Amino acid sequence: MRILVVGGGIVGAAAARLLAADHDVLLLEKEDRLGAHQTGHNSGVVHAGLYYAPNSLKARLCRRGGDLLRAYCAQRDIPLVELGKLVVALDPSELDALHALGERAQANGVRDLRVLDAAGLRAIEPHATGAGALHSPHTAVVDFAAVTRALAGEVREVRTNSAVRRIHADAAVELETGELLAADRVLVCAGLQSDRLARASGQPREPAIVPFRGDYWRLRPERAHLVRGLIYPVPDPELPFLGTHLTRRLDGEVWVGPNAALALARERYSRHAFVPRDAAAALAFPGTRRLLAHHWRAAVRALRAGERTAIRYIPELTPGDLERGPCGIRAQALERSGTLLDDFALARAGPVVFVRNAPSPAATAALAIAEELYERLR
Ligand SMILES: Cc1cc2nc3c(=O)[nH]c(=O)nc-3n(C[C@H](O)[C@H](O)[C@H](O)COP(=O)(O)OP(=O)(O)OC[C@H]3O[C@@H](n4cnc5c(N)ncnc54)[C@H](O)[C@@H]3O)c2cc1C
């Protein structure tokens, strides 16, 4: 069977590699390299699966995907380091929410989780402060773009610089150049463009993708020793994101971020990036306005949570210890009602399967999402 996979991020690459074991697969990517968007602009955290609604796709595929990813990285000699993560309650008012998160994590089968008091917290992160914490020792860091390149390296045919315009009902794939490629099945994993490509292919316009930009800061190298692993806040129940966190990365840098703000460009990363078509789409969509009307306080909190976060968790830090870092843009699916789609969303239309929502932890879960897509394509 001839299968075309659209999108060379980690989800597309993982699916293409799995399908290539017994099918004739071509992976198409519009950029000149793989992993150019979300996959190459993220925190690099292999999540253990604490947060997700039990029995959701996110909960199930994050656990399984994390296990598959560990095995894959070991097999391919790709560095994956279990630095461990603390979710920190800054003061006693956050302890109830912390314990509720611990119960959810147990229900999701997260391994070796421990609840710590203030002294236990400091035994793991000596420079951090807080009233208590959850410790997830198997949370890890990895370079998801490197994983993506390795996965795609196992697919015989990969074409970059190949933007897809639409997919026809008979599974023919039309490129922006007008070239038509015949296929028996098509898998669309287009990240920030997934709603546009679905719509151009005759699928429902919604859920729409609303891009949320996340900026990072970096600790100055001489202050990086203040953070040993990963330090996360207790999540804000009003937001779909995990909150601004401190992340030690594979190269020893410590990043603080990402915050969250409506992005005015889907795939541009400069500080004041603005693409009229992207900005107009985000602002004109009624769902965006309803979301902001309901959650504006949380939105302001998420936007302002930058350097201040780092200093609240590590009191020895001062603003001068942080410098601006890179940014990433999340593809978050949103309904017209203003409801954020929490779970992964995969939609089949005849011979085509569209990934309509694959936000965090989709990089962690990618190898398990690939299995799910494989089943749905059959
Ligand atoms: C700031 C940030 C932090 C995050 N942190 C984490 C984390 O720590 N851990 C985690 O598990 N997840 C994290 N995520 C989420 C994770 O990065 C994404 O869920 C994951 O990368 C999604 O992969 P993807 O392949 O679906 O999308 P993408 O990586 O965006 O790939 C989609 C690809 O499709 C291509 N494409 C689009 N349209 C077309 C077209 N018409 N023709 C051809 N190609 C096309 C794009 O160019 C792109 O390469 C984070 C995300 C962000 C933005």
pLDDT at residue 363 in the model: 98
Tell me how far the alpha carbon of residue 118 lies from the centroid of ligand 1, in angstroms. Answer: 36
Testing ligand 1's pocket by substitution, the residue of 360, 367, 372 carrying the most ligand atoms inside 8 A of its CB is 360
pLDDT at residue 227 in the model: 98
Which atom of ligand 1 lies closest to the CA of 10?
A: 25
pLDDT at residue 242 in the model: 83
The residue contributing the CA closest to ligand 1 atom 33 is 7
The residue contributing the CA closest to ligand 1 atom 45 is 7
Tell me how far the alpha carbon of residue 10 lies from the centroid of ligand 1, in angstroms. Answer: 7
pLDDT at residue 173 in the model: 98
Which atom of ligand 1 lies closest to the CA of 330?
A: 53
Which atom of ligand 1 lies closest to the CA of 267?
A: 47
Tell me how far the alpha carbon of residue 193 lies from the centroid of ligand 1, in angstroms. Answer: 10
Tell me how far the alpha carbon of residue 314 lies from the centroid of ligand 1, in angstroms. Answer: 30
Which atom of ligand 1 lies closest to the CA of 364?
A: 11
pLDDT at residue 302 in the model: 66
Which atom of ligand 1 lies closest to the CA of 44?
A: 8
pLDDT at residue 346 in the model: 97
Tell me how far the alpha carbon of residue 269 lies from the centroid of ligand 1, in angstroms. Answer: 14
Q: What is the CA radius of gyration of the chain?
A: 20
Distance from C-alpha of 14 to C-alpha of 132, rounded to nearest angstrom? 38
Which atom of ligand 1 lies closest to the CA of 361?
A: 11
- Residue ranges around ligand 1 (CB below 6 Å): 6-12, 28-31, 36-39, 41-45, 47, 163-164, 189-193, 197, 214, 258, 328-330, 358-364
- Domain 1-81+142-207+341-378 sits in CATH at 3.50.50.60
The per-residue pLDDT string of the chain (378 residues; one tens digit each, 9 = 90 and over) reads 999 999 999 999 999 999 999 999 999 999 999 999 999 999 999 999 999 999 999 999 999 999 999 999 999 999 999 999 999 999 999 999 999 999 999 999 999 999 999 999 999 999 999 999 999 999 999 999 999 999 999 999 999 999 999 999 999 999 999 999 999 999 999 999 999 999 999 999 999 999 999 999 999 999 999 999 999 999 887 777 888 899 999 999 999 999 888 999 999 999 889 999 999 999 999 999 898 888 777 776 666 666 677 889 999 999 899 999 999 999 999 999 999 999 999 999 999 999 999 999 999 999 999 999 999 998
Q: Is 252 left (phi over 0), alpha (psi -120 to 50) or beta?
A: left
The vertex-51 CA angle with 46 and 55, nearest 5°, equals: 100
The residue contributing the CA closest to ligand 1 atom 25 is 9
Report residue 223 as tokens: 């202050």
Tell me how far the alpha carbon of residue 96 lies from the centroid of ligand 1, in angstroms. Answer: 33
Tell me how far the alpha carbon of residue 354 lies from the centroid of ligand 1, in angstroms. Answer: 14
Tell me how far the alpha carbon of residue 360 lies from the centroid of ligand 1, in angstroms. Answer: 9
pLDDT at residue 293 in the model: 84
Phi, psi (rounded to 5 degrees) for 88 = -105, 125
Global pTM value: 0.97
HSE at residue 57, side-chain half, CA atoms within 13 A, is 21
Q: Which residues of 182-214 are buried (b: 16+ CB within 10 A; e: fewer)?
A: ebebbbbbbbbbbbbbbeebebeebbbbbbbbb
Helix residue ranges, H only, the chain: 10-20, 57-76, 95-107, 118-124, 144-152, 194-200, 276-284, 286-304, 307-313, 362-377
pLDDT at residue 347 in the model: 97
Tell me how far the alpha carbon of residue 32 lies from the centroid of ligand 1, in angstroms. Answer: 15
- Show me where the domains of the chain are located: 1-81+142-207+341-378
